[in-house]
């Protein structure tokens, strides 16, 4: 099983182009499944069937794993056994009809436009670090990128004159995202007066670098955002995803169509984007009351 797991991870990395974080998640999930196999006296691979896998899901529920964690386990098992079937290690795929638990739909936390402005103004300043922080926050809100996409942007992906970014998302998929004028100005200021003073090596390709002149990390950006949130006086928990959620919600509230927002966010399935429509119902009601003759 260890060998098969290594082959599967290699397949996901090379053939599917998945990120390091996603690969770690798959590996962690399947290692957990292998611990369960040990409890069951290392049942032979060909004897694993749908009932056995359903028993594993029941075991996870009994051990108080969250619905989200179990859903991820199901996804990992489906991918793994599909791979084993494709590679002829199994004659049938036992995970084909494995059911995913229903997840409670929770609405993402978003900031209103005034709160976003407060957060962005907190990063104002003229020293290289302040210019960098301002550019990162403006760009994150202007594009709705994931934090991993933001910190991995290279200079070659940015077209500052045409105001767009070539973003490399999940599964190595590329999408073009337009960038608003305020974010463009912030990035220009950082490139003109900040980045050159931070980098130690002229070969560094990352757009955003840390205090040591190397590519910014996700953890590094989290710390910067947390500091700006505190300085803004926010007592609520703000994460990089909060700005992504706010980006999507504000676009929909101001009339953007769902398909366009899906493209900008890099969602494969429009149903993933639909959660944001719940957050704009108040705006729709306001428009209705203003425009319908008999409202």
Pick the CATH number of 113-288 from 1.10.443.10, 1.10.3720.10, 3.30.70.100, 1.10.3430.10: 1.10.443.10
Cα separation, 18 vs 41, in Å, equals: 32
Q: What is the largest CA-CA distance in the chain?
A: 71
Give the fold, CATH level 3, of 2-86. Answer: DNA polymerase; domain 1 (1.10.150)
Q: Are strands 174-178 and 158-159 parallel, antiparallel or unpaired?
A: unpaired
DSSP H/E element including 159: strand 158-159
Q: Which residues pair with 165 in a beta bridge?
A: 158, 177
Domains 2-86 and 113-288 share a fold: no
Q: 224-244: per-residue pLDDT in tens?
A: 999 888 888 886 678 888 888
Domain ranges of the chain: 2-86, 113-288
pTM: 0.66
Regions of the chain short of the pLDDT cut 70: 103-108, 235-236, 269-295
Catalytic residue numbers read 146, 170, 241, 244, 267, 276
**What is the chain's mean pLDDT, rounded?**
86
240: nearest Cα among 220, 255, 254: 220
Its sign, for the CA torsion 150, 155, 157, 161, is positive
Q: Which residue has the tokens 């301002």?
A: 134
Q: What is the 3-state secondary structure (H, E, C) of 70-126?
A: HHHHHHHHHHHHHHHHHCCCCCCCCCCCCCCCCCCCCCCCCCCHHHHHHHHHCCCCC
State the pLDDT at residue 241: 86
């Amino acid at each position: 099983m260890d060998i098969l797991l290594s082959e599967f991870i290699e397949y996901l990395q090379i053939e599917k182009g998945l990120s390091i974080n996603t690969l770690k998640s798959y590996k962690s999930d399947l290692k957990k499944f292998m611990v369960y196999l040990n409890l069951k006296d290392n049942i032979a691979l060909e004897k694993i069937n749908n009932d056995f896998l359903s028993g594993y899901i029941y075991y996870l529920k009994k051990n108080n794993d969250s619905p989200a964690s179990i859903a991820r386990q199901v996804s990992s098992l489906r991918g793994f056994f599909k791979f084993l079937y494709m590679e002829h290690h199994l004659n049938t795929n036992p995970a084909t009809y494995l059911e995913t638990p229903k997840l409670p739909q929770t609405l993402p936390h978003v900031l209103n436009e005034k709160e976003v402005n407060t957060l962005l103004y907190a990063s104002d300043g003229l020293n290289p670090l302040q210019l960098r922080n301002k550019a990162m926050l403006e760009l994150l809100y202007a594009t709705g990128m994931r934090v991993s996409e933001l910190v991995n942007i290279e200079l070659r992906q940015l077209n500052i004159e045409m105001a767009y970014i070539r973003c490399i998302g999940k599964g190595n998929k590329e999408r073009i995202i337009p960038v608003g004028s305020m974010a463009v100005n912030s990035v220009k200021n950082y490139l003109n007066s900040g980045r050159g003073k931070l980098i130690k090596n002229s070969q560094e390709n990352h757009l955003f670098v840390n205090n040591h002149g190397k590519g910014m990390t996700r953890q590094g950006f989290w710390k910067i955002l947390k500091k700006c949130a505190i300085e803004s006086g926010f007592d609520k928990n703000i994460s990089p995803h909060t700005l992504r959620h706010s980006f999507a919600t504000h676009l929909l509230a101001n009339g953007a169509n769902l398909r366009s927002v899906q493209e900008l966010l890099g969602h494969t399935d429009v149903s993933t984007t639909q959660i944001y429509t719940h957050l704009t119902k108040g705006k729709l009601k306001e428009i209705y009351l203003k425009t319908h003759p008999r409202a």
